[in-house]
Amino acid sequence: MSRPITAKVAVLTLLLWTGAAGQPARPGNPDESTSTPQEEPLAIIVNRKNPIENITFDDLRKLCLAERKHWADGRKVTLALREPGQAERAAVLNQIYRMSESEFTRHFLQGSFTGELKTTPKELATANGVRRFIFNVPGAIGFARVSEVDDSVKVIRLDGHAAGDPEYKLKLPVP
């Protein structure tokens, strides 16, 4: 009886020593575990009637911070963001605002209190909600995963680069 237990202990020791215990088999490239995670472009979307085709990163940041309140055609800018806790929102706060969620909240509360800001971004639960809002509000701008964009909205370029170009700046890490 002691022999089967010894064999089991030996196999378990070997598995633990090699690091194979509890690891699923990985077909394909053995170097995959060292590669960087995939990223999905985060498209900048506007109402189809908005004449803008391209925006600079600096102008986008000014729109998002409500430092610039109107489009070139005079329409009021209305920002649509996903709700707190959503990956798209976290990417926008990190990459465009360069703020945490609490800093973002403080920015808009302070702006509302001082009267510098008349509106705050519209918060929506889903990508479909963001698209529908932008479809219905001519001055709206928002963000969505490229895979979630449809022809109800227009995707604009950022610094001359289309979403998906290697030089495109807004990216959402894919788990």
Within 10 angstroms of residue 49's Cβ, the number of other Cβ atoms is 11
Distances (CA, A) of 6 to 2, 12, 17: 6, 10, 16
CATH code: domain of residue 75: 3.40.190.10
| DSSP one-letter code for 126 | S
pLDDT exceeds cutoff 70 at 75: yes
Structure tokens belonging to residue 10: 């030996």
Whether 34 is covered by a domain: the verdict is no
Structure tokens belonging to residue 168: 């495109």
Whether 22 is covered by a domain: the verdict is no
Whether 48 is covered by a domain: the verdict is yes
Give the chain's domain count. 1
Whether 33 is covered by a domain: the verdict is no
Segment 145-169 shows an average pLDDT of 96
pLDDT value at residue 37: 53
Report the C-alpha gap between 155 and 136 in whole angstroms: 15
Whether 127 is covered by a domain: the verdict is yes
Report the C-alpha gap between 170 and 151 in whole angstroms: 20
Residue 77, domain extent: 39-173
pLDDT exceeds cutoff 70 at 175: no
Report the C-alpha gap between 43 and 146 in whole angstroms: 5
Residue 140: what are its φ and ψ, rounded to 5°?
-80, 150
Q: Do the beta carbons of residue 31 and residue 63 sit within 8 Å?
A: no
pLDDT value at residue 36: 47
Give per-residue pLDDT as tens, 5-27. 444 444 334 334 444 444 443 34
pLDDT band at 119 (very low <50, low <70, confident <90, very high): confident
Report the C-alpha gap between 48 and 77 in whole angstroms: 14
